[in-house]
């Protein structure tokens, strides 16, 4: 088996005892349990982390509450929060190689891509959010109170931090998704209890260490790895959590949303997707083929807004599918630490079996594979797969697979494309490939999704809100819009 060199910081971190971070204390789980961390590229145990329980969540929430209510953090000025967030981003950037290697070992993704994409997007987003710390404002109004004639009033609104934030993140982009939660929470003055996915807890623990190194007071960021049905459920239902933010599957998101409503906890949910890639007949075929392939095969297809449904105008369909099939069949699978690897393994054996099960079900329904369809080992690899001859109502088209599986279908005209693109319970993202911008502009308002990309897919910028329509979630990540989700607005009316 090939041995890959690791940054000394990565080696030291992996060998460490991985405890919960509550305040500035490293603690074992209350019941002494641990979670094995498996390297997806080999299937071997990498390390283990302490397994937090409901009791540990209670302790973390109590710590976050005390810190929010009365501490150096609660008295910090906006410009001080801004500087801290910049310092945090600088530390993450300085540790980019090590963080990317940890993400690779934990998740399976390419370390080189994680450093260039995941880490850099996280750093850019934290710096963007740092600027918001000094720009959270209210407004003044001139009130008219009819039942108090002659009285003079001064009215204004202000935004205040929502309080203790419970953040639960998925395993596909562990560090980046955590930073999407931490950025607005730290900019607005909230405190956080972060529960990473049990498959990928390592970079969350490292983020907790870096927060203390950056100078955040103990208790601002608490990290509690644990199982979803125990620690995750306890955080979702906790009466002293003011706001929940979750990224993950629609099914789990619904359970979290229902638990939140028992205490009227504020909640944002970034959930599943089945995003269409729509190619009109005037598109550049080579650019569209490369773009459509990247839309589904990036990050092994483990992307909530992956372009997993490909709709191509009939004139281009056969040639475009052939081009994408050629691209897919030449993607190099391997360990994410190998710089020549183009696609790594899926995150776990469970996910590998789930994705392969969808492929087998599609074949049973009459679909045809043009390339891929198999699994490889050791590790949890699924070959890049392209499937045709599918019906719009088939399982492959309607359900989120969350793996490197593309289903391709032809369409006749733009009305047909819009109809089938919107024929989904999801509405997270969509892309349109065309040089006819007049047609594109007419299509964009009719596509029922939170993001529409034109001649690109999953292109993200910190200033653009990200979230979904329909069953793809509630609320938005990123952009100015996310500040609303981490603050409460208060109205003040003063008789003068």
CA gap 379, 381 in Å, rounded: 6
d(CA 76, CA 57): 26
In order of 38, 51, 65, 183, 461, the CA distances from 61 in angstroms are: 28, 16, 6, 19, 32
Helices first, then strands: H and E counts in the chain: 17, 24
Distance CA 346, CA 352 (A): 6
Measured distance CA(274)–CA(305) in Å, rounded: 7
Residue 399 among the catalytic residues:
no
Only one residue has tokens 């996910």, namely 351
Nearest to 46 by CA among 99, 5, 107: 107
Three-state DSSP state, 233: helix
Query: Using the 8-state DSSP alphabet, how is residue 119 labeled?
Result: I
Compute the Cα dihedral for 482, 485, 488, 491 and give only its sign: positive
Q: What whole-number distance in Å separates Cα of residue 381 and Cα of residue 227? A: 24
| Cβ–Cβ under 8 Å, residues 46 and 87 | no
Q: Parallel, antiparallel, or unpaired for β 309-313 and 276-279?
A: parallel
Q: Which of 59, 70, 69 is nearest to 25 (CA)?
A: 59
Query: Using the 8-state DSSP alphabet, how is residue 216 labeled?
Result: P
Point out the catalytic residue in the list 101, 115, 198, 270. Answer: 270
DSSP state of 333: B
Give the largest CA-CA distance in the chain: 85
CB 482 within 8 A of CB 476: yes
Active site residues: 270
């Amino acid at each position: 088996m090939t041995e890959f060199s690791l940054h000394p910081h990565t080696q030291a971190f992996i060998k460490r005892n991985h405890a919960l971070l509550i305040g500035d204390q490293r603690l074992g789980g209350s019941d002494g349990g641990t979670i094995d961390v498996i390297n997806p590229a080999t299937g071997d145990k990498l390390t283990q982390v302490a397994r937090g329980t409901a009791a540990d969540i209670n302790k973390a929430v109590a710590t976050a509450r005390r810190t929010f209510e009365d501490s150096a953090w609660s008295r910090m000025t906006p410009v001080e929060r801004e500087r801290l967030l910049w310092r945090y981003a600088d530390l993450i950037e300085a540790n980019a190689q090590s963080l990317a290697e940890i993400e690779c070992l934990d998740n399976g993704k390419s370390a080189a891509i994680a450093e260039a994409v995941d880490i850099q997007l996280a750093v850019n987003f934290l710096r963007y959010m740092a600027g918001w710390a000094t720009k959270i404002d209210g407004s003044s109004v001139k009130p008219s109170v009819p039942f108090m004639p002659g009285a003079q009033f001064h009215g204004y609104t202000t935004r205040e931090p929502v309080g203790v934030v419970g953040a639960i993140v998925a395993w596909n982009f562990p560090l980046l998704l955590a930073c999407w939660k931490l950025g607005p929470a730290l900019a607005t003055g909230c405190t956080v209890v972060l529960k990473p996915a049990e498959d990928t807890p390592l970079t969350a623990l490292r983020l907790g260490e870096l927060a203390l190194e950056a100078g955040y007071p103990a208790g601002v960021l608490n990290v509690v790895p644990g199982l979803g049905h125990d620690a995750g459920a306890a955080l979702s239902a906790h009466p002293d959590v003011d706001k929940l933010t979750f990224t993950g599957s629609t099914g789990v998101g619904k359970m979290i949303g229902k638990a939140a409503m028992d205490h009227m906890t504020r909640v944002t949910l970034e959930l599943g997707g089945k995003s269409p890639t729509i190619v009109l007949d005037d598109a550049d075929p080579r650019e569209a083929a490369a773009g459509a392939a990247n839309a589904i095969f990036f990050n092994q297809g483990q992307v909530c807004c992956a372009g997993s449904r490909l709709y191509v105008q009939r004139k281009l369909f056969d040639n475009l599918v052939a081009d994408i099939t050629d691209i897919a069949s030449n993607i190099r699978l391997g360990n994410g630490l190998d710089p020549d690897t183009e696609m790594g393994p899926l995150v776990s054996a469970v996910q590998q079996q789930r994705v392969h099960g969808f492929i087998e079900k599609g074949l049973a329904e009459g679909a045809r594979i043009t390339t891929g369809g198999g699994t490889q080992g050791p590790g949890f690899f699924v070959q890049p797969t392209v499937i045709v001859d599918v019906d719009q109502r088939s399982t492959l088209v309607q359900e989120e697979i969350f793996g490197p599986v593309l289903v391709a279908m032809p369409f006749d005209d733009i009305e047909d494309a819009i109809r089938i693109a919107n024929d989904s319970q999801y509405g997270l993202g969509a892309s349109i490939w065309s040089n006819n911008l007049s047609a594109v502009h007419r299509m964009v308002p009719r596509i029922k999704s939170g993001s529409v990309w034109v001649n690109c897919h999953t292109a993200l910028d910190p200033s653009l809100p990200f979230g979904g329509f329909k069953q793809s979630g509630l609320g938005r990540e990123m952009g100015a819009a996310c500040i609303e989700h981490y603050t409460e607005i208060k109205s003040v009316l003063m008789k003068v």
